[in-house]
Amino acid sequence: MTAAVARATTSVAARSRAHGPTAALWHAVEVHRHPSEVDGACELTLCGSLARVDVEQSWPVAERDVCVTCVVLSS
């Protein structure tokens, strides 16, 4: 057995909620499961907040309200 197993890591887009002064943003969530299993689930984003996964939206998102931290961390 080799340790060089390809890591099937995919990033999906997730929408956070507007929280006080913080607007709702698109974040990236790293999924290690099949995207259909995390659809609609609240997952931890790359930047450490919680957002609801929207598998219909692929990452990176072509929107303006995107979390900059997630963009940097996923690139």
Residue nearest to Zn ion (CB): 67
Distance CA 42, CA 75 (A): 22
* Sole window of 4-12, 26-34, 35-43, 53-61 interacting with Zn ion (rule: CB under 5 A): 26-34
Tell me how many degrees the CA angle 7-26-57 measures, rounded to the nearest 5.
65
Interface with Zn ion (CB under 5 A), residue from 12, 13, 27, 61: 27
What character string, x for contact with Zn ion (CB under 5 A) and - otherwise, covers 29-48? ----------------x-x-
Q: How far is CA 45 from CA 4, 9, 49, in A?
A: 26, 14, 5
Q: What minimum distance in Å lies between the beta carbon of 18 and Zn ion?
A: 14
